[in-house]
Amino acid sequence: MNSISSNRLTGRVAVVTASTEGIGYGIARRLAQEGAKVMISSRKEENVIKSVQKLTNEGLSVSGQVCDVTNAEHRQSLFKNTKEKFGGIDILVSNAGINPKLGYVLESDESSWDEMFHVNVKCSFLLAKEALPYLRERKGSNIVFVSSIAGLHPYPYIGAYSVSKTALIGLTKAAAKSLVTENIRVNCLAPGIVKTKFSTDVSSNLNQRNSKLNMTSSVGRIPMQRSGTIEEMGAVVAFLVSDDASYITGETIAAGGGIDCRL
């Protein structure tokens, strides 16, 4: 059942990567609840089928496709099939991110640094670049990158991850400036701690290394004294891609309950 009364995204088509679970799922669901047609995607076919089924059962207009963001053919067919299915693409949300390896930034080994930057930064750049011809065919298109609060203020113990997420904030600003005359807006969401498989894994890894760094202690440092929800992340993205945000581009919106980012 759609309990969201806004229909400000009716007539828009959105592609959301890594959207069969967690924050991406919350974003895809909210965009669809506000009237968009949404292409769901992730690496595993069974996850795609399950999520499409769940959202379709709620009466939402979604379709699904396998897309590992690191696979060029998957990315191309994601966009091509979305246009075939829904008639075009107005919104790209680049949400996929790799689980951080623990360690201070200068302790990162080269291969984990490369992997982090490949998935988090290069694939986000490629997705935006490859979506652009489709976005240019529509009026008032949008790109949203999903960074992290750690991209604004690095978490020392997930150093390489934090720096990769900072790069996305730079990518947002640079891409926004280059597309401003084409009326394509580019913005970024920086989630704080949101309870998902990703954050639970990070937390338990941190906990194994140092019990003071687990999720419970991190949540205790959030002024709002709780983690965020995937619905709250979806709400921020729905605003950013809607006409309500028509004068906002190149910005990163932190949604972290006031967290100050020091672990």
Q: Which residues are catalytic?
A: 161
Cα of first residue to Cα of last residue in the chain, in angstroms, is 39
Smallest distance from the beta carbon of 196 to ligand NAP, in angstroms?
A: 3
One residue of 4, 6, 43, 239 binding ligand NAP per CB under 6 A: 43
* Residues 6+ positions from 54 with CB-CB distance below 8 Å: none
Radius of gyration over every alpha carbon of the chain, rounded to an integer in angstroms: 17
Span near ligand NAP by CB under 6 A; candidates 84-92, 195-203, 204-212, 217-225: 195-203
Interaction between residue 69 and ligand NAP (CB under 6 A): yes
One residue of 56, 61, 63, 70 binding ligand NAP per CB under 6 A: 70
Interaction between residue 214 and ligand NAP (CB under 6 A): no
Interaction between residue 191 and ligand NAP (CB under 6 A): yes
Smallest distance from the beta carbon of 246 to ligand NAP, in angstroms?
A: 25
One residue of 33, 82, 95, 249 binding ligand NAP per CB under 6 A: 95
For ligand NAP, the closer of residues 103 and 140 by Cβ is: 103
**Each residue of 29-63: b (16+ CB within 10 Å) or e?**
bbbbbbbbbbbbbbbeeebbeebbeebeeeebebb
Interaction between residue 124 and ligand NAP (CB under 6 A): no
Q: Which ranges constitute the DSSP H helices of the chain?
A: 22-33, 45-57, 72-86, 110-117, 123-136, 149-152, 159-179, 197-209, 215-220, 230-241
One residue of 65, 108, 142, 148 binding ligand NAP per CB under 6 A: 148
What is the total count of residues that contact ligand NAP (CB under 6 A)?
28
Span near ligand NAP by CB under 6 A; candidates 15-23, 53-61, 78-86, 131-139: 15-23
Measured CA to CA, the distance from residue 263 to residue 259 in angstroms comes to 10
Query: Length of the chain, please?
Result: 263
Span near ligand NAP by CB under 6 A; candidates 169-177, 186-194, 204-212, 241-249: 186-194
User: Looking at the DSSP assignment, which residues form a beta bridge with residue 201?
Assistant: none
- The residue type of 165 is K
